[in-house]
Amino acid sequence: MKSLSILGSTGSIGQNTLKIVEMFPDRFSVKALAAGHNIDLLSAQVKKFLPEIAVVFDENVARSLKKKLGPESKVNILFGTEGYKEAATHPSVDMVVSAIVGAAGLLPTLAAIEAKKEIALANKETLVMAGEIVMQMAAERGVVILPVDSEHSAIFQCISGQRVEDISKIILTASGGPFRQKPESEFADITLSDALNHPTWQMGQKISIDSATLMNKGLEVIEAKFLFGIPLDKIEVVVHPQSVIHSMVSYVDGAIIAQLGIPDMKGAISYAMSYPERLSLNQSIPEFANIGSLTFEKPDIKKFPCLALAYQACETGLTLPCVLNAANEIAVTAFLTKKISFVEIPVIIDKIMAEHQVVSSPDLSDILAADKWARDAALQLIKEKK
């Protein structure tokens, strides 16, 4: 039996992970659950899966969770950065499912790698911020990082049994988001509800906005570079509205291997959890006769400049991807709270990137400093716009 620590248990990835645990109680057990503020859902998860520890954002939330669970609960309730690290390094845990949204996932994931835990990585920001550091540490400690993002899981499956030197290109597919066919002249009128209405995937708010701006695909480009050791010029993004092909890999002999499936994260999650086995999920397969055709198109980087900004950050490397990510997180939060418009998201990111003094040969402290600087600078810029 594999014991799990789920960082981000109340998010969409975390909830789907627990659904798989429910389906295979003889294969998986839950030793730690970590969330932010959603104590209603977390308390229900604790009562159902009986972990040894539960972690929340801060001490006040921890008190509320303890009160909600009642005196009969034996779970050890922790909070904050140290609590998340404890969940990631808990001695009885075999695998850490890293699904905390945003930069908050970096330090717990590094702690899990340091503790030589197997990693199921859904937090793409970990590699965007500190890809070289993370992958080097994993290699030094013999830690396996298994991708949970549907696109990276697809690539992982497509390169299985193949030689890396035979790869000519990685092709990341993108749905195009809710505004693929919307004229750029109408982008200024985009509302929050419009941006959250993804055509094919059910996701959390932050990743839904990232998908609408195509920043999510840009972050995935950076993640793929580090995760698979593939140079940037061999990573291509193609828009595929049907979301049936999750990604593809082309080889030097002209062959292309694609991974297909319905748009449901449980497949990618379960493959990481059970690798190299596959679990019988009883998932439906695409109805190809009903689909009729699969279409592809180039992404429009004029309409969606966030994708171009991500390529720029990846090409420069060093601390710039971290700054890109931090500025994006602040800008997306500002949009979600209706402080800025949709079209201002890439403007803010671009300005913060232009102001940043890139640090050569950054260590972790440099990465964290760049992250803080970018957040502060973006917050100030948004404040000045009022």
What pLDDT, on a 0 to 100 scale, did the predictor assign at position 46? Answer: 97
What pLDDT, on a 0 to 100 scale, did the predictor assign at position 13? Answer: 94
Measured at the alpha carbon of residue 335, what is the angle toward residues 331 and 337, in degrees to the nearest 5? 115
What pLDDT, on a 0 to 100 scale, did the predictor assign at position 330? Answer: 97
What pLDDT, on a 0 to 100 scale, did the predictor assign at position 103? Answer: 86
Report which residue type is found at 281: L
Q: Rounded CA gap, 30 and 11, in Å?
A: 16
CATH match of 317-386 with 1.10.1740.10: yes
Residue-wise pLDDT tens digits, 288-315: 999 889 999 999 999 999 999 999 999 9
Q: Rounded CA gap, 31 and 155, in Å?
A: 30
Q: Which helix (H) or strand (E) holds 198?
A: none
Residue-wise pLDDT tens digits, 156-197: 999 999 999 999 999 999 999 999 999 999 999 999 999 998
Q: Rounded CA gap, 130 and 9, in Å?
A: 23
Q: Rounded CA gap, 140 and 50, in Å?
A: 34
Instruction: Tell which residue, 324, 295, 142, has the closest CA to residue 221.
Output: 324
* 74's tokens: 């034996």
What pLDDT, on a 0 to 100 scale, did the predictor assign at position 202? Answer: 64
What pLDDT, on a 0 to 100 scale, did the predictor assign at position 386? Answer: 63
Which residues of the chain, if any, have pLDDT below 50? none
Q: Rounded CA gap, 128 and 221, in Å?
A: 9
What are the residue boundaries of the structural domains of the chain, listed by start? Answer: 2-147, 149-314, 317-386
Hey, which CATH number is domain 2-147, 3.40.50.720, 3.30.70.260, 3.40.50.300, 3.30.60.50? 3.40.50.720
3-state secondary structure of 347: helix
* 83's tokens: 């609590």
Hey, what's the torsion of the CAs at 99, 100, 106, 108, to 10 degrees?
-90
Strands 235-239 and 167-174: parallel
- The rounded mean pLDDT for the chain is 95
Q: pTM value?
A: 0.93
Q: Do domains 2-147 and 317-386 have the same CATH topology?
A: no
The DSSP symbol for 28 reads E
Give the phi and the psi of residue 247 in degrees, each rounded to 5. Answer: 175, 170
What does the DSSP assignment read for 280-345? Answer: --------HHHH-----B---TTT-HHHHHHHHHHHH-TTHHHHHHHHHHHHHHHHHTTSS-TTHH
Which residue bears the tokens 């999650």?
A: 269
